[in-house]
Amino acid sequence: MRAYLGVYPQELTADIAEGKKLGAKKGILVGQVIPNSPAEKSGLERGDVILSFDGVPVASPSEFRMLVADSPVGKRVEIEYLRSGDKRKASVHLVERPDVLTAEPEAHMEESWLGLQVVDPMEEPEVVRTLGLAGLSGVLVYSVEPGSPAWKGGIRIGDLVQEIGEDAIQNLEDFEEARTRSRSPDRPIVFLVFREGFTQYIAVRP
């Protein structure tokens, strides 16, 4: 069993900290809080900056994920965070990670490319429902290797890839064709992804 908090953390870059006037230079940024998760129930919100987890300072999203995953299920931990420049604390009761986030997908998963793997969202209805992707076309990012080109570029688990370069991505076949055409790119590969109700471009340098 793995512990579950229910946030999607992202790196707190200097540009984001300055642009959002976060008043923080260290920690990680909460990019999304999953509804009905322990994080939401504790009062954490998108845009909060997590400074420490159970007394351990947090420096990166990957480190944060490891701290959460290595914690015992059922443990109550204290999270120190910033919101609008104010330092706050939240007491969170960790639960077992839901199957929708841990189970191996029954659908075919494309082999890793740039550190990411994708699946057909139509064959993962629970994930589609949880992330609000119903009716959208694209392929679902199911895993991203920390430190990989995709990770460094900003692609995250749960993103829906809708374009790669100039190619629209409707399904796994489109993804494979776009990947083949991008085997030896001479410039960054630009992805269009749908995340949290919005589309955004992400440049990935191989």
Kindly indicate the confidence band of residue 107, based on its pLDDT and cuts at 50, 70 and 90: very low
Residue 83, Cβ neighbours under 10 Å: how many? 16
- Please name which of 29, 11, 7, 4 lies closest in space to residue 81, comparing C-alpha atoms: 29
Distances (CA, A) of 92 to 28, 36, 39, 89: 17, 13, 7, 10
Spatial contact of 77 and 92, defined as CB atoms under 8 Å apart: yes
Domains 3-96 and 100-204 share a fold: yes
Which CATH architecture group holds 3-96? Roll (2.30)
What pLDDT, in 10s, does the model give residues 150-193? Answer: 999 999 988 999 999 889 999 999 999 998 888 766 778 889 99
The CATH fold of domain 100-204: Pdz3 Domain (2.30.42)
Q: What is the mean pLDDT of residues 94-114?
A: 63
What is the pLDDT at residue 35?
80
Question: Domain map of the chain by residue range?
Answer: 3-96, 100-204
CA angle 90, 96, 97 (to 5 degrees): 95
Residue 65 has pLDDT above 70, yes or no: yes
Spatial contact of 155 and 189, defined as CB atoms under 8 Å apart: no
Average pLDDT, the chain: 85
What is the pLDDT at residue 112?
80
Residue 69 has pLDDT above 90, yes or no: no
Tokens of 188: 């960054």
pTM of the model: 0.53
